[in-house]
Amino acid sequence: MQIIKKIDELRQKLAEIRKTNSLGLVPTMGALHAGHMSLVEKSITENDCTIVSIFVNPTQFGANEDLDLYPRPFEADSKLLEEAGVDFLFAPDVGEIYSPFDKTIIELRSPITKKLCGGSRPTHFRGVTTIVGKLFIMVSPDRAYFGQKDAQQLAIIRRMTKDLKFGIKIVACPIVREESGLALSSRNKYLTKEEKNRASAISESLFSVKKEIEDILSVGGTLPDAESVMGEIIQKIEVAGGYIDYVSVVDPDTLENVEFSGGDQSYMIAIAAFFGKTRLIDNILIN
């Protein structure tokens, strides 16, 4: 695996590779776990060449968020990627990507960025679209891999890719979970053992609601209203000691609130909740 830190070198190396090989990109902020590695493995299976980026992107962190504390175990990460068979690791310094004199950002003009996580993190998604847009321009991959775990990010990146005609296939990968059901996240490291046990209430509440809705759909029964389902979830998480940021039943593409109505409609139930000081997100799709 070649480690690249400079954009010029990246461009040079990839121009050669791209002539005869398909290229998969997996953007990450490092502190890699099995969730990230599932994206990496999928890219390796689907492309001749895989490039992973590790960049803790400052523009997606709010003023009171954990940018300085964000874990950066670079040696362990590069070892994992090397062992997995990744071809290139792009790990630029902040100064390589941003200059204090930059005047350009990439931002979706859509309410989709203001919903769910956009409520409490108003500048987060323009940081995400700016860095992912820059990476797409620098790397120009055939496919790019993102986790369903960050469902809003995925919907926003799909939209940006379509609007800016990047011609890159966005591949969504399922959420990888711990045995307890807790979605893997680099931020799980901040949880105490006890908080971690209690935080599994998030996924438990999602699984139980999914089962409830699917059971009703299978016998053609009357579906509950979204409000009561959200109430059920909130109660389970609060009993476990969590503090809710949001719980919403939405359309997975537009993120508009929806009611359960049967038919062809798909639903996503999305949650953000704090356990201790750690903000966790999770979601589940119901088809």
From the number of C-beta atoms within 10 Å of its C-beta (0-12, 13-18, 19+), residue 178 rates as middle
Candidates 44-52, 144-152, 200-208, 275-283: pick the segment binding ligand AMP (CB under 6 A). Answer: 144-152
Instruction: Determine if residue 256 is left, alpha or beta; phi over 0 gives left, psi from -120 to 50 gives alpha, anything else beta.
Output: beta
Q: Does 173 bind ligand AMP (CB under 6 A)?
A: yes
Residue 31 C-beta: closest distance to ligand AMP, Å: 7
Q: Does 160 bind ligand AMP (CB under 6 A)?
A: no
Active-site choice (36, 149, 196, 279): 36
Q: Does 203 bind ligand AMP (CB under 6 A)?
A: no
Q: Which is nearer to ligand AMP, 183 or 201 (CB)?
A: 183
Number of chain residues interacting with ligand AMP (CB under 6 A): 17
Helix (H) or strand (E) holding 135: helix 124-139
Residue 178 C-beta: closest distance to ligand AMP, Å: 9
Q: Give yes or no: 33 in active site.
A: no
Q: Which is nearer to ligand AMP, 35 or 242 (CB)?
A: 35
Cβ burial 203-242 (10 Å sphere, 16+ → b, else e)? bbbbeebbeebeeeeeeeeeebebeebbeebbebbeebeb
Q: Spell out, one character per residue from 96 to 135, where the chain touches ligand AMP: x when CB under 6 A holds, - when not.
A: ----------------------------------------
Residues whose CB is less than 8 angstroms from the CB of residue 284 and which lie 6 or more positions away in sequence, other chains included: 206, 207, 209, 210, 268, 269
Residue 57 C-beta: closest distance to ligand AMP, Å: 8
For ligand AMP, the binding residue among 41, 77, 150, 282 (CB under 6 A) is 150
For ligand AMP, the binding residue among 115, 149, 198, 279 (CB under 6 A) is 149
Residue 198 C-beta: closest distance to ligand AMP, Å: 18
Please report, for residues 132, 166, 220, the alpha-carbon distance to residue 244 in angstroms, rounded to integers and kept in the order given. 29, 36, 32
Angle between the N-to-C axes of helices 74-84 and 34-46, in degrees from 0 to 180, rounded to the nearest 10? 30
The Cα angle at residue 218 between residues 229 and 147, in degrees rounded to 5: 60
Residues designated catalytic = 36
For binding to ligand AMP (CB under 6 A), which residues are involved?
A: 28-29, 35-36, 38-39, 146-147, 149-150, 173, 175-176, 183-186
